[in-house]
Amino acid sequence: MESFDAGNSKDGQIVVEEHNLVRILVLNRPKHLNALSPYMGNGRAFCAGGDVSAVVPDIKKDWRSGANFFRTQYGLDYVIATYKKIQVSFLDGIVMGGGAGVSIHGRFRIVTENTVFAMPEAAIGISPDVGASYFLSRLPGFFGEYVGLTGARLVGAEMLACGLA
């Protein structure tokens, strides 16, 4: 495996494996539940979303760093959503917030008995982002409204039942 330089990443936060014509990217911050940082699923989480502890101190110094973080996050979500090649997300573990953005927009999503999905920002009164208004609005019945308004956690089987996997 070789490390992939993701922006300012110099410590292997994303690991790239190449097997013939297939490239596998693994988020590699297991101690932080693979939270997305301004510099970057290894371990027990696919991705717990944005790394608030890494972003907030920068935002307190200069709001532009927060704007840049979210611009990069949303840009990545857009690239994944519009990517022409097949993209498969293996969601083994925690998939929350920004982790949903970098996985749900792909063409194929595989869940396991360890998968836990949520948009936790809803539980503190913040509207879910990362394209959640798009993918949640397409769920059957009131599933999307329920998840988007309550921050409820779904396990892999529930994600499969409502069409998120």
Kindly list the catalytic residues: 50, 98, 121, 129
Strand order in the sheet with 45-47: 45-47, 94-96, 116-118, 154-155
Residues 121, 151 contacting (CB under 8 angstroms)? yes
Number of residues that this document lists for the chain: 165
Q: What span, in angstroms and rounded, lies between the C-alpha atoms of 119 and 125?
A: 11
CA–CA distance from 136 to each of 4, 67, 96, 145 (Å)?
Answer: 31, 24, 13, 7
